[in-house]
A and B are shown apart, each in its own frame.
Chain A
Amino acid sequence: MSTTTVNQQNEWDGGVSPMNVGYGKMMMWYFLVSDAFSFAALLITYGTIRFSHIDWPDPNEVFSAFPFMGHTHLPLMFVSFMTFTLIMSSVTMVRAVQEGHRKNQKGVALWMGLTIIGGLIFLGSQAWEWNHLIHGGMTIATPWSQLDHHTGDVVYTAPKIFGQLFFTITGFHGFHVTTGVLINIIIFIQNLRGVYEKRGHYEMIEKVGLYWHFVDLVWVFVFLCFYLL
């Protein structure tokens, strides 16, 4: 930063960075604020429509499958695994940021690599869950129905809007995870090429880190609205 000769009675008068963050990092924060409003709009829509319905499917019944377990009734187990994967990839991302503060190129590469793997596991899990639900009959055009565990008869049919909201909101979130993984891969390669080493700082890792944590943060509320409440 160039030295200024302006009369600096107030740090907001110019020439300094009152928030003490780089321009890119500050704008990433404000982008995330706006993105939080997009997700809030979707989740509040979910709440409004749910409140307007007399009946709503029980998440313990809708989300009770696990890969390779056949028809075993395992409520919430798979989504807990997905939640845990996303939390862990958030942790590895923080570690990458911390190694960046130390200008440790290898450390950044290791933890960024683990973050990307975590993101891919999450996306794979979501693909499996969608596939399972769609084959179980729930699409945006057809409602989810609960079968009797013994006879296989339909005992309950959910409102069609449940599936529409589920695929829209988890889809919008999954899209964010996908772009997050792509951005992480780009930054991972840039780091290996020594771009940040040459630049002298690793602030770019912090910026993509903020985006990645935000994706984890949104999942906390998607998990709350669809699987817990």
Chain B
Amino acid sequence: MSTMSNEEYNANVKAVWRVTGILAVVTIVEVVAALIYPETMPRLLLNFFFIVMSVAKAYYIISVFMHLGHERRALQLTVLLPTLFLVWAIIAFLWEGSAWLNLRSIWH
């Protein structure tokens, strides 16, 4: 809670506007990609691009806006490590969804 020096303040303000620029550009690139991506190319490639870009946006929001990048290591780990469970949840449930689709196509 210490008051920060003027220099530190200016550096922080600059960092925030830089990240604002990054987030805005990434969002614009995503929308343009969604609109101009040719239908003949594999959809998987575009989806992979969207996911990578969204994770990048999430990284900047958490690290800079929420300031987690400058917190103690212990706080960073207790916040971030539990979300690793989600990696398994995503794999398991999407797998389940595909199996369900398979059953549907057998029954119809």
Q: Which of A21, A40, A48, A80 contacts B97 (CB 8 A)?
A: A48
Q: Are B30 and A228 in contact (CB under 8 A)?
A: yes
Q: Does B40 contact A (CB under 8 A)?
A: no
Q: Chain B contact residues (Cβ within 8 angstroms of A): what range?
A: 35 or more
Q: State whether A48 touches B93 (Cβ < 8 A).
A: yes
In the complex, residue of chain B having the shortest beta-carbon distance to the beta carbon of A12 = B74
The prevalent SS among residues of A at the interface is helix
Contact B89 A94 (CB under 8 A): no
Interface residue? A36 (CB, 8 A): yes
Contact of A103 with B83 in the complex, beta carbons under 8 Å: no
- B 39-61 to A, binary, CB cutoff 8 A, 1 in contact else 0: 00000000100110010011001
Cα(A48)–Cα(B92), bound, Å: 9
Contact: B20 with A87, CB < 8 Å?
A: yes
Asked whether A26 and B4 contact (CB < 8 A) given A36-B83, A47-B97, the answer is: no
In the complex, which residues of chain B have a beta carbon less than 8 angstroms from the beta carbon of A50?
97
> Which of A30, A44, A53, A201 lies at the interface centre, i.e. has the most chain B CB atoms within 10 A of its CB?
A44
Determine if B16 and A94 form an interchain contact, defined as CB atoms under 8 angstroms apart: yes
B27 x A84 contact (CB < 8 A)? yes
When the two chains form their complex, are residues B51 and A220 in contact, meaning their CB atoms are under 8 A apart?
A: no
* B75: nearest chain-A partner, CB-CB: A19
> Are B97's CB and A52's CB within 8 A?
yes
> Would you list which residues of chain A between 88 and 136 have a CB under 8 Å from chain B?
88, 90-91, 93-95, 97-98, 101-103
Whether B31 contacts A20 by the Cβ 8 Å rule is no
- Contact of A51 (CB < 8 Å), options: B23, B58, B65, B101: B101
Residues facing A in B47-88 (CB within 8 A) are 47, 50-51, 54, 57-58, 61-62, 64-67, 71-72, 74-75, 78-79, 82-83, 86
The answer on a CB contact under 8 Å between B75 and A21 is yes
- A60 — which chain B residues lie within 8 A by C-beta? 34-35
Pick the contact of A98: B13, B96, B104 (CB < 8 A): B13
Is A192's beta carbon under 8 Å from chain B?
Answer: no
A interface, CB within 8 angstroms of B: 18-22, 26, 29-30, 32-33, 36-37, 40-41, 44-45, 47-54, 59-60, 75-76, 80, 83-84, 87-88, 90-91, 93-95, 97-98, 101-103, 201, 203, 206, 209-210, 213-214, 216-217, 220-221, 223-224, 227-229
The 8 closest A-B pairs by CB, nearest first: A51-B97, A52-B100, A48-B97, A19-B75, A48-B93, A224-B54, A52-B97, A228-B50
